[in-house]
Amino acid sequence: MKNDDPLLRITNFSVTYDVDPPVEAVCDVDLELQRGEILGLAGESGCGKTTLAYGIQRLLKPPAVITSGDVQFHSANGDIIEIGGLSDRQMRRFRWDKASMVFQGAMNALNPVITIGAQLGDIFKTHRPKMSRTQRNRECGDLLDLVAVGRERLKSYPHQLSGGMRQRVMIAMALALRPELMIMDEPTTALDVLVQRDILRQISQLRREFGFSVVFITHDLPLLLEISDRIAVMREGRIVELDTAANIFHRPQDPYTKTLLSSFPSLTGERGGFVRSGTAKEAMS
């Protein structure tokens, strides 16, 4: 493996929902994700973002059919993993160890009758069975500290936490086994703007600390401009433009990207205001 190898290479990837009439949800997608990169995936509702993410993680169920393509993962330890070639068991391990996912609407997926400490602990029980109880508790506490929920919440039940905290717990779970990639599908959409910003800042910081890559999915383009290194714009199953956040913002090429940008008054009306806000690191360059 060379260091400049991409972490993830998606080639000619297509998914059809085999309904009547069939829906070509993802068409011929080619995409490379670099190590340590935050790649934003933007596009309006129904353009195929979640289908692509599920496809990468082999989580699609009928009527979805992968009609073409490969997904290759270059692990830091030198392993080249062909995702299509993994057994179901290997795939389950891969999903926690190498490439975890925070699902759309995930914060409502916590089990309401089990403490968040126990739900975090279950990940280690399953995937690190030799870990002692003491170490497990320490790891769970560390994770809650890491996402700014705080280890004092280990014994809390989901309903005792705010939406933002529950979402942070989901991020802690995705981080538990130190994956090389986190795919986040609309991870903060249900939260208020300040909480969203706070969580995103934290993801950026954790990324710097641990060096993982992120595929961040949302239809919120302004948000992506703030946090992404590069942005892929998706329309009707295809990636119509892929460029640095700065180029997407200042020099969009595809007409659809321009339309998408112009649909956010905060970007067009107060264009300068957004850039001067100080958080758009890429867009400022």
Ligand X SMILES: Nc1ncnc2c1ncn2[C@@H]1O[C@H](COP(=O)(O)OP(=O)(O)OP(=O)(O)O)[C@@H](O)[C@H]1O
Q: What is the number of the residue whose Cβ is closest to Mg ion? A: 50
Taking CB under 5 A as the rule, does residue 188 contact Mg ion?
A: no
Residue 47 binds which entry of Mg ion, ligand X, none, with Cβ cut-offs from 5 to 8 Å by kind? ligand X
Helix residue spans in 66-162 (DSSP H): 88-97, 116-127, 133-146
Which range of residues in 17-25, 41-49, 87-95, 167-175 is near Mg ion by CB under 5 A?
A: 41-49
Phi and psi at residue 37, to the nearest 5°: -90, 145
Opening angle at CA 43, ends 197 and 187, nearest 5:
35
CA atoms of 94 and 102, how far apart (whole Å): 14
**Closer by beta carbon to Mg ion, 49 or else 136:** 49
**Closer by beta carbon to ligand X, 47 or else 169:** 47
**Closer by beta carbon to ligand X, 118 or else 190:** 190
Helix residue spans in 133-177 (DSSP H): 133-146, 163-175
Out of 14, 16, 50, 247, which residue is the one contacting Mg ion (CB under 5 A)?
50
Q: What is the DSSP string of 176-208?
A: TT--SEEEEESTTTTS-HHHHHHHHHHHHHHHH
Opening angle at CA 99, ends 94 and 105, nearest 5:
115
**Closer by beta carbon to Mg ion, 42 or else 116:** 42
Helix 133-146 to helix 163-175 angle, to the nearest 10 degrees?
130
Shortest gap between Cβ of 189 and ligand X (angstroms)?
9
Which range of residues in 23-31, 42-50, 75-83, 243-251 is near Mg ion by CB under 5 A?
A: 42-50
Residue 222 binds which entry of Mg ion, ligand X, none, with Cβ cut-offs from 5 to 8 Å by kind? none
Q: What is the per-residue binding string for Mg ion in 131-160, x denoting contact by CB under 5 A? A: ------------------------------
* Amino acid identity, position 128: R
Beta strands at 8-17 and 238-244: parallel, antiparallel or unpaired: unpaired
Binding site for ligand X (CB under 6 A): 17, 19, 23, 25, 43, 45-51, 63, 104, 219
Shortest gap between Cβ of 65 and ligand X (angstroms)?
11
Q: Given the rule CB under 5 A, which residues bind Mg ion?
A: 49-50
